[in-house]
Amino acid sequence: MRRIYEKAEGVKMLSFLRQYIEKLNLALGYLSGLGILLMGLILFYEVVARYCFNSPTIWTQEVSIYIFIWTMLAGAAYTLQIGKHVRIDLILIHLSPRTQIFLEIITSVLGMFFSAYVATQGWDMVQASLKYQKLSATPLRVPIWIPQLAIFIGFSLLALEFFILVCAKISEVRNAYAKDGEKTC
């Protein structure tokens, strides 16, 4: 498995956090894949029940939406970790490698702050839903904090993954400057 911060050799700062987050992201990535499979099976069941037996269900759409929320948000940090997020590199490929790294640091810092902000808002939503005991307005009456918790967990992990990426890129810049310094002296 290739990580996007693999090039930065010697990234030792916070290695325990990095290893823990990587393992957690990997587990959530696999769970997200299983969630998508489960969602597909649930929707297939609904189609068969509705069109073959003329017996639609009342729960499949809501459950599928909640599974979708959890799979997308729980898998976001894993997707960043393995470098599979959508990137628009039309301009980036024409820049020097050093400039590319600096832009990656800037965008990762912005992503980290944005993700942290959304995570805090998600936590506030969860607390409000728990306080007021909010339930979905459907026959299932699912506590709303359950899908909202995905926002908090997903964006928290994404913020941590961006932090790890920033640390790795800064280390990469330091290593590049150290190598350049050795050549010029």
pLDDT tens track for 27-52 = 999 999 999 999 999 999 999 999 99
Contacts of 106 (CB under 8 A, 6+ apart): none
Q: Is 100 part of a structural domain of the chain? A: yes
pLDDT in tens, 157-168: 999 999 999 988
The model's pTM is: 0.84
In a domain, 9, yes or no: no
Task: Give the phi and the psi of residue 133 in degrees, each rounded to 5.
Answer: 50, 50
Domain-located, residue 40: yes
The answer to whether residue 112 is domain-embedded is: yes
Q: Is residue 5 part of a domain?
A: no
Burial of 11 (C-beta count, 10 Å sphere; 0-12/13-18/19+): buried
Domain span including residue 51: 15-180
pLDDT value at position 10?
Answer: 45
- Average of per-residue pLDDT across 80-84: 89
Tally the domains of the chain: 1
The closest of 8, 1, 4 to 111, measured between CA atoms, is 4
